Amino acid sequence: MNKAVLVAGATGRSGQIIVNEIKNHGFYTHALVRDIPTAQNLLGNDIIFHEGDVRDIDTLTEPMSQVGAVICAIGTRTPVGKNCPKHVDYEGVANLVQAASTSHVSRFILISSIAVTHPEHPLNCFGKVLDWKRKGEDSLRQSNLEYAIVRPGGLKDTPGRRHTIHFDQGDRIMGTLSRSDLAVIILQALIFPNPLRVTFEAIEAENHEDRSWYHQFSSLSPD
């Protein structure tokens, strides 16, 4: 795989941790950001920045042409307006997927959310964010890309590597996950040596067997 990776949503709370995780493991890290000086203050100057907006597909072609994989960590912070879930979590993801397909990117990793198939979940009161995230997932599943769709439990700003991580499929579990552990999962999805077209949930667990990352990913059923 091309060792250059583009992170969309790199300045977010999870995105910053993901950038550091993959950079520390030898990947040439590119960040898609709306404002480069602001991003440099957050992320430093040892990565490559591209100014763009996921809502405008014309700004995505040049960044995609330089990388072999994409990590999508975007997510809205407002339920209405030009940055609402429809425009970011669905249309923004779909634009990234289309641009990645056109550029023949090798692997696309999307961070979604647990409970996206449960419209009655309280989170969906926030601009129907779960419904739009599910549509964003569907745009990736309908593409020709190799991908992993990660549905983390409720994200926490706590240290990682303190719990066993449990994978499941079918959107039938609930739980929490540290952003640091999410970053490790993203890295492992990036380096997994076999083809991937999977959707799965990930939460912290105390009582599950501690299996290798390779075993965890190999055990997932393809979409």
Residue 221 pLDDT greater than 80, yes or no: yes
Give the DSSP H/E element, type plus range, for residue 185. Answer: helix 179-191
Residue 209 pLDDT greater than 70, yes or no: no
Nearest to 171 by CA among 152, 187, 155, 190: 152
Give the pairing of strands 28-33 and 48-51.
Answer: parallel
Say if CB 160 and CB 111 are below 8 A apart: no
Say if CB 217 and CB 196 are below 8 A apart: yes
pLDDT digits 0-9 by tens, 86-138: 999 999 999 999 999 999 999 999 999 999 999 999 999 999 999 999 999 99
Give the integer Cα–Cα distance in Å for 162 and 12: 23
pLDDT at 1: 59
Say if CB 212 and CB 168 are below 8 A apart: no
pLDDT at 161: 86
Show the beta-strand stretches assigned E in 74-212. 107-111, 147-152, 154-156, 164-168, 176-178, 197-205
Q: Of 17-21, 148-152, 163-167, give the lowest mean pLDDT range.
A: 163-167
- Bridge partner residues of 176 (DSSP): 154
pTM: 0.96
Nearest to 16 by CA among 42, 46, 47: 42
Domains belonging to the chain, first-starting first, are 4-218 (3.40.50.720)
pLDDT at 189: 98
* Mean pLDDT of the region 155-165: 91
DSSP assignments along 81-148, one per residue: STTSHIIIIIHHHHHHHHHHHHTT-SEEEEE--TTTT-TTSGGGGTTTHHHHHHHHHHHHHTSSS-EE
Going from the C-alpha of 45 to that of each of 33, 48, 70, the distances in angstroms are: 13, 8, 20
